[in-house]
């Protein structure tokens, strides 16, 4: 049963990765590209969490936290930059 769940998670993460990479390459605005990059970081963190759950260890916990924090800080920084650049303040 766990093997089926792992395969489903892997397939869904692969589909999400393909969609995010497409949006990074094609995205018309910088905000869409940043959002797609944030999604890629979340997918990487999810893959590491899935690996920790399967192998019953916590070796990648620091990488998961760093990926989440980096994605959040990056998204907020770029959105604030675009907000002030477009004169919306």
Closest CA to 78 of 65, 70, 48: 70
Query: How much is the pLDDT for 89?
Result: 60
pTM of the model: 0.85
Query: How much is the pLDDT for 75?
Result: 87
Query: How much is the pLDDT for 86?
Result: 78
CB burial string 51-65: b at 16+ within 10 A, e below: eeeeeeeeebeeebe
Other beta carbons less than 10 A from residue 44's beta carbon:
17
pLDDT tens digits in sequence order for the chain, 89 residues long: 889 999 999 999 999 999 999 999 998 888 899 899 999 999 999 999 999 999 999 999 999 999 999 989 988 898 888 888 877 66
């Amino acid at each position: 049963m766990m093997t089926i769940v792992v395969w489903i998670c892997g397939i869904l993460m692969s589909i999400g990765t393909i969609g995010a990479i497409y949006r990074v390459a094609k995205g018309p605005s910088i905000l869409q590209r940043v959002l797609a990059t944030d999604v890629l970081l979340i997918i990487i963190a999810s893959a590491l969490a899935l690996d920790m759950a399967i192998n019953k260890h916590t070796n990648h916990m620091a990488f998961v936290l760093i990926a989440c924090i980096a994605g959040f800080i990056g998204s907020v920084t770029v959105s604030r930059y675009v907000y002030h650049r477009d004169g919306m303040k």
